[in-house]
Amino acid sequence: MPGNSIEKRQNFTKQEEAKMAKEFSESTKDEGIGFHCDLFSAKSGIEGQDGGVVTALLTKGFEQDMFDSAIVVQSKEGYNAEAIEAKNVGDALKAKGTKYLRINMTQKLLELIGEGKKRIAMVCTPCQVKSARKIQQTFKNKCEITIIGLFCFEAFNKDRLKKETEKFLGIDLDKTQKTQILKGKFTAVIDGKEYNCKVKDLDQAIEKSCLYCEDFTSQLADISVGSVGSKRGYSTVIVRSEVGEELLKNLDLLKKEVNFDEIDKLSKFKRERAKENLDALVKQK
């Protein structure tokens, strides 16, 4: 999750955010999850995190020539990841899965715009979505940005997460093949074996900036995707804009109803946590 100086310069007020939301979406406003025109649970035919929906969206985008490149997060050796440019379906498939680390996506976006890239897709978390929209406003005559936003409650600092998982799970985080957060449980998979603990046990590894973020569902994205509200093996999908509708159109998905209350509850909790932490920060000053 971004936290460097470039991204900090992309911050804007609540009024600017509301105006921006209306600019990118003409759909129904909901206090919990933001503007949206459709909400459902889905599973694609692509094996991936939860329902593989994000990879399916990227695959369609490339195959239908809806964008020229996409910014995704790809795993590196050990429990590390980096933002890369995916130029085709093959590149997108290599980036399957969720990495719960703070990754600088904005720098890669600025890089591609600087190289003259015109149509860019971006898979990112709420704070990065806001930065990307601000950049899109700045360069609106130079590029088109399609944003697939991820649900995000918090991100972890890699070194602290490594220490905490060793403490609570007795594992070497660098040896994991997959990690997942679902229904308040953190799961790490090593050689086919699952190791679990409560997400709350890992509080010491949380990136501090996440404690002040109010957005759980990436409200300024074209499409938001996450696991909360869906059964295991499915993804919750929130469609927010015409761009999102077009990307989703005719995509072969197995759909189910979503548990809205689960999403709303966690969204509300994150907003209240951010407010409490911000109020406490103001009092300290």
**pLDDT tens string 15-50:** 666 666 666 665 667 778 888 999 999 999 887 667
Please report, rounded to a whole number, the percentage of residues in the chain having pLDDT higher than 90.
68
Same domain, 98 and 160: no
Same domain, 27 and 82: yes
Q: Report the pLDDT value the prediction gives residue 50, as an integer from 0 to 100.
A: 75
Q: Which of 25-29, 214-218, 228-232 has the lowest mean pLDDT?
A: 25-29
Q: Which domain holds residue 74?
A: 5-154+214-284
158 and 139 in contact (C-beta within 8 Å)? no
Overall average pLDDT of the 263-283 stretch: 93
Q: Are strands 119-124 and 69-76 parallel, antiparallel or unpaired?
A: parallel
Q: Report the pLDDT value the prediction gives residue 8, as an integer from 0 to 100.
A: 40
Q: Is pLDDT of 119 > 50?
A: yes
The Cα–Cα gap between 96 and 220 comes to 23
Same domain, 96 and 22: yes
Mean pLDDT score across all residues of the chain:
88
| Final residue in a domain of this structure, among 206, 240, 272 | 206
Q: Which of 18-22, 198-202, 269-273 has the lowest mean pLDDT?
A: 18-22
Same domain, 124 and 253: yes
Q: Report the pLDDT value the prediction gives residue 282, as an integer from 0 to 100.
A: 86
187 and 198 in contact (C-beta within 8 Å)? no
Same domain, 228 and 95: yes
Q: Report the pLDDT value the prediction gives residue 20, as an integer from 0 to 100.
A: 64
For residue 38, what are the CA distances in angstroms to 123, 158, 181, 244, 285?
Answer: 19, 35, 24, 10, 42
- In the block, residue with structure tokens 């907003």: 271
What the block records as the tokens of 104 is: 């600088």
Q: Report the pLDDT value the prediction gives residue 14, as an integer from 0 to 100.
A: 63
Q: Is pLDDT of 197 > 60?
A: yes
Same domain, 82 and 165: no
Same domain, 66 and 174: no
Q: Which amino acid is at 1?
A: M
Q: In this structure, what CATH number is given to the domain that contains residue 36? A: 3.40.640
Q: What pairs with residue 223 in β-bridges? A: 148, 239
Q: Is pLDDT of 180 > 50?
A: yes
Same domain, 100 and 201: no
Q: Is pLDDT of 164 > 60?
A: yes
Overall average pLDDT of the 1-6 stretch: 35
The larger pLDDT score, comparing residue 140 to residue 161, is at 161
Same domain, 139 and 221: yes
12 and 130 in contact (C-beta within 8 Å)? yes
7 and 124 in contact (C-beta within 8 Å)? no
**pLDDT tens string 66-78:** 999 999 998 888 8
| Final residue in a domain of this structure, among 172, 206, 240 | 206
Q: What is the residue-wise DSSP string for the chain?
A: ---SHHHHTT---HHHHHHHHHHH--SB--TTT-SBSEEEEEE-SS--STT-HHHHHHHHHHHTTS-SEEEEEEEETTTEEEEEEE-SHHHHHTT-S---B----HHHHHHHHHTT--EEEEEE-HHHHHHHHHHHHHTTTT-EEEEEEEP-S--B-HHHHHHHHHHHH---GGG-SEEEEETTEEEEEETTEEEEEEGGGGGGGB-GGGGG---SS-TTSSEEEESTTS-TT-EEEEE-SHHHHHHHTT---EEE---HHHHHHHHHHHHHHHHHHHHHHHHH-
The Cα–Cα gap between 184 and 282 comes to 29
Q: In this structure, what CATH number is given to the domain that contains residue 191? A: 3.10.450.750
Angle at the Cα of 45 (from 261 to 219), degrees rounded to 5? 35
Same domain, 80 and 132: yes
Sign of CA dihedral 194, 237, 106, 155: negative
Overall average pLDDT of the 239-247 stretch: 93
Q: Report the pLDDT value the prediction gives residue 31, as an integer from 0 to 100.
A: 72
Same domain, 143 and 164: no
How many domains, the chain? Answer: 2
Q: Is pLDDT of 13 > 70?
A: no
Same domain, 34 and 64: yes
Q: Report the pLDDT value the prediction gives residue 10, as an integer from 0 to 100.
A: 45
Overall average pLDDT of the 224-235 stretch: 93
What the block records as the tokens of 130 is: 């806001």
